[in-house]
Structure 1
Amino acid sequence: MSLTYEDRRMTILNHLEMEGKVQVHHLSELLTVSTETVRRDLDRLEKEGKLRKVYGGAVKMRMEMVEPPFLNRVQMMKPEKAAIGKLAASLVQDGETIMLDNGTTTIEIVPFLNDKTNVTLITNSIPILNLAMETFRGRIIFAGGEVNQECRAVTGTLTDQLLDQFKVNKTFISASGISLTDGITDFHLAEAVISRKMMQRAEECILIADHSKFGLSTFARVAKLEEISMVITDAGCPKEWVDTIEELGIEVRISE
């Protein structure tokens, strides 16, 4: 019995959610329908605002093609980010050295580190530095370099070289997008480079991201999903994503 449009629609959107993009020929084989039928389905879904057609297939519709300013992003998904930050901070042990990249989720770790006086925090983020100077009682190392005013962080060769001097216990990285096809991505190449360097200098790398980041791909790749050891997200993360990440051998923790 042939699949109805609603059945095909659900399959297409599920694949789009996981992969970030779909291809006409692959869908044709998967659904056992002609490529013409798949193209008509994609036309309908584009009119519904569910995807954007591209040559040979379609990609997930994104509300933002460029990253909103840092101060605006701080307010987005704030309860979820705070819960993720609390769970992430609970993993930091006495005597450890950690790195935090520049992000509105990683900054939420800092308030929950205030009782960890024997921890060293390394960051390239100016907002994280400012907050840590107010609330954190451990050791702070700022990975200085060229100030990127758009990102509100320091990036570039000097920052990269300074980070090379350290070996840390844990690195916590944020993401603008997470997809199976493109892995962990960022809007800014300079920030992606620094996040990747932080991963390379850590014994354990932990990705922290709210559920809105899953299924998206942005400009610059930070790393493959398989290069991290743990994902911390919120309860809004789809079960399909949790199951898929765990199948890759990556631990998933859900904040309360």
Structure 2
Amino acid sequence: MSLTYEERRQTILAQLSTEGKVQVHALAGLFHVSTETIRRDLDRLEKEGRLRKVYGGAVQTRSERIEPTFIKRSQMHQSEKQAIGKAAAALIGEGETILLDNGTTTLQIMRELKDRADVTVITSSVPILASAMEGFQGKVIFAGGEVNMSYQAATGAIAHQLLDQFKVNKAFISAGGISLADGITEYNLEEALLSRRMMQRTEESILVADHSKFGVTTFAQIAPIEHISMIVTDPGCSQQWIDALNRLDVEVLIGS
């Protein structure tokens, strides 16, 4: 019994979410239908804005939207980010030094560390620094430099030079998008480069991201997915994504 368009549609979109692209002939073989049927399916999905047709198949529609402000992002997926922050904070051992990049999810980690006098936090994020100033019992080091007022974080050569002075236990990295084809990406090039540098200065890189970031590609690559050891996310992350990450030897931790 052949699959309906809706059934084919779900499989096509799931493959796009994890792989970033689909091929007409491969889909025709998978569904046991003609290539003309697949091309009509892709035409319909393109009109829905779910993909962009290219020669021989289709690719995922890139995220071209402007990143929301830090304040607006902090109000999105709040419960998921709180759960992720709690799970991530529990990974930090006694006496460890950690890096937190500039993100609303990494901010939640900082909030979970208030009573951890044994932890040292290094960050380039002004909101994370401000949170630490509100009663954090441990040590905080600001990787300063020129502060980008839009992103509320230090960027540029000075911040990179300061990070080069450290070697830490864990770096917690946030992202604008996660794609198997394009890796971990960010909207802003300077922030992507700084997160990449943090990954170079740590023994273990951990990505913290809610489910809305999966299957999304933004402007600048931070790193391939294989360069991280773990992703901390929420229960909204699909089993297909969990399986794909496990195949890359990336552990997935679900915050709850």
Return the TM-score normalized by structure 2: 0.93
Structure 1 residue 135 displacement after superposition = 2.8
Match of 1:136 in 2: 136
Match of 1:250 in 2: 250
Structure 1 residue 25 displacement after superposition = 4.5
Q: Deviations over 1:132-188 (max 9, x none)?
A: 111311111100111112211111111111101100000000011011111111011
Q: Distance in 2 between matches of 1:248 and 1:207?
A: 14
Instruction: Pick closer, same or farther for the CA change 1:54–1:189 going to 2, 3 Å.
Output: farther
2:241 pairs with 1:222:
no
Q: Deviations over 1:105-152 (max 9, x none)?
A: 000001110121121100001111111111311111100111112211
Match of 1:181 in 2: 181
Match of 1:118 in 2: 118
List runs of 5+ in structure 2 lacking aligned partners. Answer: none
Structure 1 residue 31 displacement after superposition = 3.7
Q: 1:153-232, aligned counterparts within 5 Å?
A: 153-232=153-232
Match of 1:90 in 2: 90
Q: Distance in 2 between matches of 1:77 and 1:240?
A: 21
User: What is the aligned-residue RMSD (CA, Å)?
Assistant: 1.8
State the one-letter code of the partner of 1:52. L
Return the TM-score normalized by structure 1: 0.93
Cα contact 1:101–1:172 (8 A) shared by 2: yes
List runs of 5+ in structure 1 lacking aligned partners. Answer: none
Instruction: Give the number of aligned pairs.
Output: 255
Q: Distance in 2 between matches of 1:54 and 1:135?
A: 53
Cα contact 1:146–1:154 (8 A) shared by 2: yes
Show structure 1 runs of 4+ deviating over 4 A: 61-64
State the one-letter code of the partner of 2:204. E
Q: Distance in 2 between matches of 1:144 and 1:24?
A: 50
Secondary structure of the 2:127 match is helix
Secondary structure of the 1:95 match is coil
Match of 2:19 in 1: 19
Structure 1 residue 33 displacement after superposition = 4.0
Cα contact 2:63–2:216 (8 A) shared by 1: no
Q: Distance in 1 between matches of 2:39 and 2:13?
A: 14
Q: Distance in 2 between matches of 1:41 and 1:4?
A: 10
Cα contact 1:167–1:201 (8 A) shared by 2: yes
Instruction: Pick closer, same or farther for the CA change 1:21–1:151 going to 2, 3 Å.
Output: farther
Structure 1 residue 6 displacement after superposition = 3.1
